[in-house]
Each structure stands twice: as C-alpha cells, then as structure tokens.
Amino acid sequence: MEDIIVIGAGPCGLSAAIELQQAGFRPLIIEKHNIVHSIYLYPTYLQFFSTPELLEIGNIPFTTPHEKPNRQEALAYYRNAAKLHQLRIQSYTEAVAVRKNDTIFEVETIRQNGNKETLKASHVVIATGYFDHPNRLGIPGEDLPNVTHYYREAHPYANMRTLIIGGNNSAVDAAMDLLRVGAEVTIVYRGEQLSAGIKPWVKPLFESMIEKGRIRMLLGSRVVNIEEQTVTVDIGNSQTEVIASDFVLALTGFRPDRTLLATAGIHLTEGQTVPDYNRDTMETSVPGLYIAGVIASGSNANEIFIESGRHHGKYIAQHLITNP
C-alpha cells in the first residue's frame, strides 16, 4: 500500500514527486519508459526555447555554459535531480488503468516483460505526457515505412528528397538541419503565412533560405495522399500537385492521452479533452486523484510547458498537507 503513486516520470512528474517527498510523503513513480522519455525523443541536437532556470526542479540549479540548454544537458540534469532526491522510480512499467475502490486507488500496471500487477495507494497523481501520441493526418499512406512523426537528426536524409508537413518550430528546425546534409527540402503548411511562434533567432535565417530557393515552402496547402516515391498536395483553388519524395516527416504535433483519465472516472469537458480539476490544488473531479503537467491541458499540448507544469506538485503537496 503506497501513500501516493505518481504516474509519469517526465519533468513535471519528477517535480511533483520531489514536492510530495519534501512534504513528508513517500511517493512511488510509475513510468512506462525511463525518466524524461519525452525529452529523450526530442531531436538529438535540440536547443530548448527556455532558459535553464525555467526548467529547474527540486531547488537544483541547472548549470550550463549556454544561454539555452540542449537536449543532452536536460537529460543529464533530470537524471541527476532524480538521483539527488533519491526518488523511487519503477521504470518500464505502464499504468493501464486507475480505479477508485471506496477510499483506495487501484493502479493496474504491466511491465515490459508482460507481468501484470495491481498497486494500491491512498492518492494518485497522473503526470503523463504526450509525445507517444502524434496528431495523425488520417490520410492514405501515413503508415508507410518512409513516413515518420518523429525527427531525430539529419544524417538519414542526406541528399534525399524530404517533404516536411507542418510549419511550427519542429518543422523549421528540421528543415534547417536537413539543408546541412544536402537534402532537398519541401515544407507543406496549412497556414496562410509563416507561424508567429517560430523562434526569433531562427526565423530570419529560415526566411532567407526560402527566398534563396533552398527551401520550398507551400503555404495554405495540405497533403492528401502519400505513396512510396510521391506525395500529393492540395495547393488550394481545387488544384493538386504531385511532388517526388523519398521521405515524409509529418511534424504535426502531439496530443495528451486521455485513457487513464477515462478509466479513473474523471469528468472531461470541451469535447472530452479537458479534465475537470481545481487549478489551485490540481485535484480532479475524483477526490484524491490529481493531475500534473501537460495532461491538464486540452487538445492543444502547447498550453502547458515544463516552465509552468513543474509548479503543479507544489499545489498538490500543499492541498494534501492541509487536507490529509
């Protein structure tokens, strides 16, 4: 029987566990993969938008010689934070259901080797992320082997005809990266103009590559069909264009998974996407069940970042101290 089970070992789950531990509880973290798996899935050489102090948890300084830390530094920082706080983490254990039986929560888990176990706890914090669930296009060819929703690094696409779907920072960063290895880059973006959210230090260089013809940018367009060597694009005005392509990077964002919320009986609003919870305490419509991090957002996973989600554990700990 556990005090508290935290589901998810991302930055916000780790932060929540640290806050709870400092409040006198002994949380157990259940993680489907290993700690901060979402950050591990980021592009290999990604640089964060945030400055290091905005990514800190557990009062541990994030030291880096760079103005903005990179992926490798973040992985090391969060590993170190978990180690210094001696967090109890059960990795490679997926929580598949959460149910409340009277006053006790039962968390059904399955380990990587297939073993199943039901854990019991007085309270549960769901802090699952969203990087396992890309926004699918729902078009023919999306599941072909030359199509991916994840971009890691440029080398596999050297000198290849590569089409990117999307127009936000992930798409822009990938495009700039691909140019360095000689890829032929086309971007298809449904927006009528470049996204206002593109990182300001990247945008001028990106626009310059478009103007020079190094990157072909199709605005107000959408991919309607993918085949092994071609992509069909609706370019507007009832016109389509078939573009030769070796690889397709569908960088269309991700969405939080609502499965655990549904099994736990949490009331969902706004088209069954937003959990009903108290923003001052992070407690959901199910007493004793809390959420932390991006899972508290709606269908737009960009509503909550590490910068804000890392504070959710403080609200939870304070509520449990005053309402044991």
Q: Are residues 260 and 126 in the same domain?
A: yes
Verify that 101 and 196 share a domain, yes or no: no
Examine the domain organization and report whether 25 and 125 are in the same domain.
Answer: yes
Q: How many residues would you count in the chain? A: 324
> Are 244 and 259 in the same domain?
no
Mean pLDDT is lowest, of 44-53, 194-203, 236-245, 251-260, for 251-260
Could you count the other beta carbons within 10 Å of the beta carbon of residue 306?
23
Residue 141 forms part of a structural domain: no
CATH code: domain of residue 298: 3.50.50.60
Query: What DSSP element (H or E) covers 232?
Result: strand 230-236
Backbone angles phi, psi at 256, to 5 degrees: -65, 150
Q: Determine the structural domain holding residue 230 and report its residue range.
A: 147-250
pTM listed for this prediction:
0.88
Residue 89 pLDDT = 98
Domain co-membership, 125 together with 266: yes
Encode pLDDT of 91-107 as tens digits.
999 999 999 998 999 99
Q: What is the DSSP letter of 111?
A: E
What are the backbone dihedrals phi and psi of residue 196, each rounded to the nearest 5 degrees, phi first? -70, -15
According to the model, what pLDDT value does residue 303 have? 53
Q: What are phi and psi of 295, to 5 degrees?
A: -60, -20
Q: What angle do CA 118, 29, 63 make, to 5 degrees?
A: 170
Please tell me whether residues 22 and 45 are part of one structural domain. yes
Q: What is the pLDDT of residues 256-308, one digit of tens each?
A: 778 888 888 898 876 657 888 999 999 999 999 999 998 887 655 555 578 88
Which residue, of 219, 250, 281, is where some domain finishes? 250
| Ranges assigned E (strand) in 75-191 | 88-90, 93-101, 104-111, 116-126, 147-148, 161-165, 184-189
What digits encode the pLDDT tens for the residues 188-214? 999 999 998 888 889 999 999 999 999
Task: Give the whole-angstrom CA distance, residue 120 versus residue 128.
Answer: 18
Q: Which residues contact 170 (CB under 8 A, 6 or more apart)?
A: 43, 151, 251, 253
Lowest mean pLDDT: which of 70-74, 133-137, 150-154, 230-234?
133-137
